[in-house]
A and B are shown apart, each in its own frame.
Chain A
Amino acid sequence: MSELEISNITKDYGATRALHPVSVNVEQGEFVTILGPSGCGKSTLLRILMGIARPSAGEIRLAGARIDPLPPEARDIAMVFQSYALFPHMSVGKNLAFGLRMKNVPKPERARRIEHALEICNLTGLVERMPRQLSGGQQQRVALARAIVMQPQLLLFDEPLSNLDAKLRDTLRQELVDLHRRIGATSIYVTHDQAEAMAMSDRIVVMDGGRVVEVGTPLDLYRAPTRAFTAGFLGQTNLITADADGDRARLPWGQIVVLSAPAKGTVRVSVRPETIAIQQDEAGVGTVTSVSFMGAHALYTVGIAGTTLKVSQAGTESLIAAGNRVSLAFNGPLHLLVERKLQEAA
């Protein structure tokens, strides 16, 4: 039994369906990110988990007990908001004490937990401050402390870093990862930022158009996505149509490649730019149309058989100038995309 079981949750607003049946299981202590573009239904799902929106159908179990009919205050869930949502009329200490007071936690226990939360969120010394006297990063840390002080069964994060500037975002992201490792709370993190999702998560739930597209570890989803949407959303990729026969396939320009699984007929594969080896070759079929040197790697655009491919070359000593002919080699077997998504991805 998983700690959190979301089964066939749907949400309809009148005639429009915001969530198609969504089922996700989250294990105890796991950090799961729900990743998707705006309007993909991730926020709706979060509101349903929190209890401020009711699902149209389906059920949610937390630690075995059904929670979907319960109001927010009866769920053992705490949330960190994008807008921080601190109580502006209460000091940091009172913000942290609010939930404990509401849940009738005895006073000595309250003080102990607040002390601990302040310490692990680097807020010691700010307990008397009002939220308006804090910087954005400090405010978000208070919001985080206010959530973890509840020691909830489930922690929710709604794009908590997107109101912060880039540098602070990186710092706080690292702090969040460290914090999760220390307290091990089961967490669901909602974001549209794929870098954030990959850096923080145990698993990622990719959503699009109110559906779960794919679920997997960051490494699996990046290396071997089974959907074109996942491939395109998590970093850069090349989608190539190939003609498969067994575990071999012929690319449009005649090159034969190895597939990760046997297939027959027309298939599509996703190839990451960094898995293609590029070599200057007067007899090659590709032509470099542009090259951008990014420092750690060089990014080439290669025109080949009427399509363009992105190729990334790391640790290079010299660049291949635009206009030169090149040959490409594919390292390792190519991963097939699932057919069903062919039309949708087009």
Chain B
Amino acid sequence: MQAMLRDPKVQLALLLLPGVGYLLVFFGGPLVSALIGSLRLDDSSFTLQWYERIFTRATMLRGLKTSIYYGVAPVFVSLVVSVPLALLIRQSFWGRKLFNGLYKLPMAVPGIIVALMVIILAERGGFIDRVIAPFGLSLPKLVRDEWGIGVILASVWKQIPFMTLIITSAFAGIPEDIRHAARSLGASRLSTFVFVEVPLAMPGITAAILLTFIGSMGSYAIPDIVGPPSPRPLSVLMIFEFNEGRFAQVYAMGMVLSLFAVAVLLAYYALTANIGVSRTKGDE
């Protein structure tokens, strides 16, 4: 026993165990069992029928598209708000400190509360509708609407703080001298932003996109409460299948969602592989 512990290979394995072991047991395990579960019939024979259903059934296909739509659309809207917001926070203005603290609050609010808030505020006959009614105005259908505007609103509300936080620090990580160098080489503020700051902040921006995309694509509460009755995203359909007891189908849908997440992750690595702010300081 003592001798075995002195073996460097055993030592290495033991040292890696808490990290790698954790990942294997709590991440790899469920993933593998879901993969096996998704490829099985009740009599344990191999099948691809659960995957076939996802890619052939109309509700499932629309569910897949809706999932992607609920993942992508809020990211775009959030990005359009977060980037200018991140630039604004960098400036000094009156009340900046207060704003800096307040804008992060939505991160702490659970999705289900956000969904309910959107219903109370934006539904027809809701708060905003009643406020603008005396002026002869009325809200268009925003909740449970065909385009999922309510879902996008709720996701965006929840994502903006997180995205802004990451993007702010991505911009803050760019040394001031580099910005000044660009300006002194003839680049306007805008050109400096487009050609120097955005490329250098790209790893942070794509990380923010990735995390919010995966978060909203997989979210259940928001599309279930404020989304239209049809089409439903895969996450909502999964719960439906789960309640029906078709676990193999749930596994297969989970695998497809995970596959998308992995694809996005790989795209992220490919995009950011060439960008490195790190500098080697050595002499010839």
Contacts and interface: CB of A to CB of B under 8 A. Distances in A.
- Decide if A and B are genuine partners: yes
B175 interface: yes
Interface stretch (B188-196, B211-219, B236-244, B248-256): B188-196
Given A87-B196, A132-B278, A102 B186 contact: yes
Interface string A143-168: 00010001000000000000111001
Q: Say what secondary structure dominates the interface of chain B.
A: loop
Given A136-B281, A136-B282, A137-B284, A72 B183 contact: yes
A85 B178 contact: yes
Interface in A74-122: 75, 77-79, 81-83, 85-89, 98-99, 102-103
Interface stretch (B11-19, B86-94, B127-135, B269-277): B269-277
18 contacts: A51-B184, A71-B188, A73-B187, A77-B184, A78-B184, A81-B177, A85-B175, A86-B178, A88-B275, A98-B187, A102-B186, A103-B186, A135-B280, A135-B282, A135-B283, A136-B281, A136-B283, A139-B279
Contacts of A88: 178, 200, 275-279
B185 interface: yes
Nearest to A98: B185
Instruction: Give chain B's interface residue range (CB within 8 Å of chain A).
Output: 20 to 34
A311 interface: no
Interface in B67-117: none
B191 A102 contact: yes
Contacts of A79: 180-181, 184
Contact of A87 (B182, B274, B282, B284): B182
B199 interface: yes
Contacts of B282: 135-136
Interface string B199-240: 110000000000000000000000000000000000000000
Contact of B183 (A71, A130, A131, A146): A71
B115 to A, nearest CB: 40
A73 B284 contact: no
Given A73-B186, A73-B188, A87-B196, A132 B276 contact: yes
Interface in A163-204: 163-165, 168
A164 B274 CA distance: 27
Interface of B: 175, 177-178, 180-188, 191, 195-196, 199-200, 274-284
Contacts of A139: 279
Contacts of A73: 183-188
A292 to B, nearest CB: 31
Given A72-B183, A87-B182, 9 more contacts: A51-B184, A52-B180, A73-B183, A89-B200, A98-B185, A103-B185, A131-B279, A135-B282, A150-B186
A168 B283 contact: yes
Interface in A120-134: 130-134
B18 to A, nearest CB: 33
Contact of A89 (B180, B185, B275): B275
A17 to B, nearest CB: 22
Contact of B185 (A82, A150, A165): A150
Contacts of A81: 177, 180-181
Contacts of B274: 89
Given A89-B200, A132-B276, A165 B184 contact: no
B274 to A, nearest CB: 7
Nearest to A134: B280
Contacts of A89: 199-200, 274-277
A50 interface: yes
A164 B182 contact: no
Query: Which one of B181, B185, B188, B278 has the greatest number of beta carbons of chain A within 10 Å?
Result: B185
A280 interface: no
B271 to A, nearest CB: 12
Interface in A38-86: 50-52, 71-73, 75, 77-79, 81-83, 85-86
Given A135-B283, A136-B282, A102 B187 contact: yes
A137 B183 CA distance: 24
Contact of A132 (B184, B195, B280, B284): B280
Contacts of A7: none
A71 B188 CA distance: 9
A110 B127 CA distance: 61
